[in-house]
Amino acid sequence: MTTLQYAISDQVGQVLGFAEEERMPALPDGLVAHVMVERVPSFPEPPWPTSTLHVANNELYWVETAPLEQAKELAIARTYVDVDAVYEAAIGRRGTEYTRAEDAARVYLAADPKPAVVSGYITGHALTNPTGQVQSEAWAAQQIVERADAFRWAELQMRNVRFARQADMRAAITPEDLATAVGQWNDFITWLRSTLGL
């Protein structure tokens, strides 16, 4: 037998918490219990600090409590946080190291004949890499360049899509317009992180 879960809200529908059927407290005046259509394992994280969780017809939804202009500013600021998080996950504070490895790899691949002395950035990757096997210097250089090219592409995507979605956020006339732009941005970031294997 499935145990019912209830959302406890005030009279305007703002969710204050959740309770299992067998642990349902006696509700004081002004609080309402709503049977949940889908179980909620824990209190959801709000999409924005100014969002509040509401319930109607036994389903949950978020309400933005900040004025629209403030919500726009928060949404735009969040795009920078999301981009910084991608950088942190992809390269951390190793940007200089990766740039030097990329430069060395491009020089190596362009050289004909190949140099007698090969950069340690390349030989190090040839010896110790995700395959677990010693690889050739040419393989290592190609891998370094391919990874660098993938991140350059991601950088450009983040910049262009960020500009486009920020423009949509600034142009939003209603909270629904803003939510659409924010949702499109969130979908893009999720897709990009998956594409980069982050």
Position 34 pLDDT exceeds 60: yes
- Residue 131 half-sphere exposure, CB side, CA atoms within 13 Å? 10
Average pLDDT (61-66) is 81
pLDDT of residue 2: 63
What would the pLDDT profile of 104-126 be if each residue is shown by its tens digit?
999 999 999 998 889 999 999 99
Q: Where are the domains of the chain?
A: 5-64, 68-196
- First-last CA distance in the chain: 40
Q: CA geometry: angle at 91 spanning 123 and 195, to 5°?
A: 100
pLDDT of residue 25: 76
pLDDT of residue 120: 94
What would the pLDDT profile of 137-193 be if each residue is shown by its tens digit?
999 999 999 999 999 999 999 999 999 999 999 999 988 899 899 999 999 999 999
